[in-house]
Amino acid sequence: MGVLKVEDLKAYYMTDIYGIKRTVRAVDGVSLDINENEIFGIAGESSCGKTTLIKVLSGMVIPPLTVISGKVLYNFKDENINILSLDKDELRKTRWEKISYIMQGSMSVLNPVRKIYKTFQDFVEAHQKITKKKDFMRKVRSHLEKLGLPREVLKAYPHHLSGGMRQRVVIALATIFRPNVIIADEPTTAVDVVVQRGVLQMLKEIQEEQKNTIILVTHDMAVHANIANRVAIMYAGRIVEEGRTKDIFESPMHPYTRYLIASLPMIGDKSDKVNIPGAPPNLANLPEGCGFHPRCPYAMDICREKVPPLIENEDGRRVACFKGRDCGK
């Protein structure tokens, strides 16, 4: 069952300062089909447009970001929601109850002058009235305990907690209403490897217990390998490859995917790591045709002129390449 359908989404940043106009094509024709009860990963380097994609998916479209065309449709058991057409109040109701968001950077996501339980109170009160404070505190405490957080956390200030603790508090915040979709933006980037494991474990357990959908956005391919069911690779504002995690890692097709995977360190692998030639794309000045062609060793003439469409194979794999099944050969 599909829970989120993105149709050919185009979202650009358009600025005009001191007479200089600039258009950054952050999301340039993205289509996705995400199912219920799965962990869907979106991978790509920084400045590939994934942060912008997340903003649009959660309805946070603030100028200079503008949605040029396309649709973002959520499908929950009892309703369909076109998130771009919601007004402010509807948006507020939907966010957190149905669609929640784990933000990047646990360092500064919590209000430094507010105790943790007060932040919980703020977030909950935005959606439900809290009639009995004791009941509320009890529920929050049990929620935290289920996620392995000690109850002392509630009375503390953010600067009292370690980075990993804070990240887990943020996850607890995001799941307090048991939302249908959780969008996690680089949940493990700001923490060290040991804590990373705990965070990923927490996410996996939540998903298994609540049977919801987690959209996991990170450049770290190892994280995707760890817990994602399916992965989509993003480059220069477009999806270049998508498929089941197992398939992608065992037989990556798109040259960019191959480079991403090859750059992962593996125990026992002593070969030299290869750097992708060329530079990351400048979203304000994208090349004609396929976004990857300046760095692609297999580029043909048509790649320089036209944008390759995302074509699906029988086994559910999609690749954006004019070579189709022979992509990367």
Partner 1 sequence: MISVIIKDLYRYDRRFRFAFIVLMGIVILSILSLFSPYDPSSSYQVPVNYPPSVKYIFGTNSRGQDIFWMMTFAIRNSLLFGISTALLSRVISIFVGLTAGYKGGVTDRILMSINDSFIVIPLLPLLILFSFMFKDRMNLLFLSVVMACFGWPWDARLIRSQVLSLKEREFTRTAVYSGMKALSITWREHLPFVMPIVFATTINNMLWSMGLEVTLAVLGLSHINTPTIGTTIYWVNQHHAFTAGIWWWIVAPIVISIFLFVGLYQLFVSLNKYIDPRTRLLRIGG
Partner 2 sequence: MRHPFLKYFLQRVVQCLLVIFIGITITFIIPRLAPTDPVESAIARANMLGQYTHPETVDKIRKALTELYGLEGGIFEQYVNFWKRLLKGDLGPSYSSFPTPVMDLIRKSLPWTAGLLIISGLIAWVLGNILGGLAGYFIQRRWARIMGVFAMATRPIPYYIMAFIILILLAYLFPVFPISGSLDIGLKFSFRWKFISSLLKHAFLPALSLVIVGAGAWFLGMETLVSNILGEDYVAYAETAGVADGKILFRYVMRNALLPQVTGLALQLGLIFSGALITEYVFSYPGLGYLSYNAIILGDYGVIMGVTIFSIIGVALAVLIIDLIYPLFDPRVRHE
Which lies closer to partner 2 via its Cβ, residue 119 or residue 218? 119
In angstroms, give the least distance from the CB of 58 to partner 2.
7
- Structural contact between residues 140 and 120, judged by C-beta atoms closer than 8 angstroms: yes
Element (H, E) at 80: strand 80-82
Q: How far apart are CA 298 and CA 259, in angstroms?
A: 14
User: Which range touches partner 2 (CB under 8 A), out of 125-133, 147-155, 190-198, 246-254?
Assistant: 125-133
**Applying CB under 8 A, which residues contact partner 1?**
15, 17-22, 284
Q: Which of 22, 127, 306, 325 binds partner 2 (CB under 8 A)?
A: 127
111 counts as binding partner 2 under rule CB under 8 A: yes
**Residue 232: beta bridge partners?**
42, 242
User: Which range touches partner 2 (CB under 8 A), out of 11-19, 21-29, 124-132, 135-143?
Assistant: 124-132
95 counts as binding partner 2 under rule CB under 8 A: yes
Q: Which does 1 bind (CB under 5 to 8 A by kind): partner 2, partner 1, none?
A: none
In angstroms, give the least distance from the CB of 325 to partner 2.
41
In angstroms, give the least distance from the CB of 233 to partner 2.
26
Residues 75-94 that bind partner 2 (CB under 8 A): 91-93
117 counts as binding partner 2 under rule CB under 8 A: no
- What is the phi/psi pair of residue 279, to 5°? -120, 155
Q: Which does 146 bind (CB under 5 to 8 A by kind): partner 2, partner 1, none?
A: none
In angstroms, give the least distance from the CB of 34 to partner 1.
34
Q: Which does 22 bind (CB under 5 to 8 A by kind): partner 2, partner 1, none?
A: partner 1
Closest among 99, 54, 60 to 81, alpha carbons compared: 99
Which lies closer to partner 2 via its Cβ, residue 157 or residue 249? 157
- Structural contact between residues 284 and 22, judged by C-beta atoms closer than 8 angstroms: yes
Which lies closer to partner 1 via its Cβ, residue 65 or residue 222? 65
Q: How far apart are CA 90 and CA 83, in angstroms?
A: 9
Q: Which tokens is 180 given?
A: 């249908």
Residues 238-267 that bind partner 2 (CB under 8 A): none
Q: Which does 113 bind (CB under 5 to 8 A by kind): partner 2, partner 1, none?
A: partner 2
Q: 320 burial class (0-12, 13-18, 19+ CB within 10 angstroms)?
A: buried
- What is the phi/psi pair of residue 24, to 5°? -105, 115
Which lies closer to partner 2 via its Cβ, residue 92 or residue 258? 92
Q: Which of 15, 35, 126, 145 binds partner 2 (CB under 8 A)?
A: 126
Q: How far apart are CA 128 and CA 106, in angstroms?
A: 25
Q: How far apart are CA 14 and CA 34, in angstroms?
A: 29
What is the 3-state secondary structure of 183-211? Answer: EEECCCCCCCHHHHHHHHHHHHHHHHHHC
Q: Which tokens is 296 given?
A: 């692609």
Residues 153-192 that bind partner 2 (CB under 8 A): 157, 159, 173
In angstroms, give the least distance from the CB of 96 to partner 2.
5
In angstroms, give the least distance from the CB of 222 to partner 2.
25
Q: Which of 113, 193, 194, 279 binds partner 2 (CB under 8 A)?
A: 113
Q: How many CB atoms lie within 10 A of CB 22?
A: 13
Residues 6+ apart with CB under 8 A from 73: 4, 5, 6, 7, 80, 81, 82, 83
**Would you tell me which residues interact with partner 2 (CB under 8 A)?**
58, 60, 91-93, 95-96, 100-101, 103, 105, 107-114, 122-123, 125-127, 157, 159, 173
